[in-house]
Amino acid sequence: MRIRPEIASDATRIDTVVTEAFKTAAHASGTEAQIVRLLRADGALQLSLVAEEDGVILGYVAVSAARIGDAEGWSLFGPLAVSPEKQRQGIGSALMTEALARLRGAARGAVLVGDLTYYRRFGFRVWPGLFLPGVPDYATLALPLEPGVEPAGELFLHPAFALDMP
């Protein structure tokens, strides 16, 4: 398996992987692929990585700019998607590890909305005072990538994520 940046010809397969991966997820809104398309169209993807094997895209992660309070320089992970038949084989972990490695030294920190049980293995945790309106505090997670940074305040995302909000 190899992880590489997205190229233009990947877009349709990325849509399929993201849609299929979230089809049965309890937390899915059904807008995940559309969010990626909007981020791409707006030039808002800081990172757009695919995991592929033998030319087949198995997984995908999008990273876009975010702000916490007045603090710029944060990177939002999401969506992270792996084809259903390839889940639980380390592909999502490999995508997260590679994306975090690429962000070190380039971002203040990483944020996401997700399951702490899964994302704590990468160093993400709940931070008192970090919040995203409409999202439970236990699901709003951050990982500072610079020493002494403590994320606190409202998380601001690209407008494409409004599709996902109730």
Q: Residue 52 corresponds to which tokens in the numbers above? A: 């592929």
CB 14 within 8 Å of CB 7? no
pLDDT tens digits, 146-159: 999 999 999 999 99
Q: Could you tell me where the beta strands, DSSP code E, fall in 71-139? A: 71-82, 109-113, 125-126, 130-131
Provide the CATH number for the domain around residue 131.
Answer: 3.40.630.30
pTM of the model: 0.93
Rounded distance between C-alpha atoms, residue 58 and residue 88, angstroms: 12
Q: Give the total number of structural domains in the chain.
A: 1
CB 142 within 8 Å of CB 110? yes
Domain residue limits at 14: 2-164
* Strand duo 109-113 + 140-144: pairing: antiparallel
pLDDT value at position 164?
56
Give kind and range of the element (H or E) at residue 37. Answer: helix 32-41
pLDDT value at position 23?
86
pLDDT value at position 166?
45
Low-confidence ranges of the chain (pLDDT < 70): 25-28, 163-166
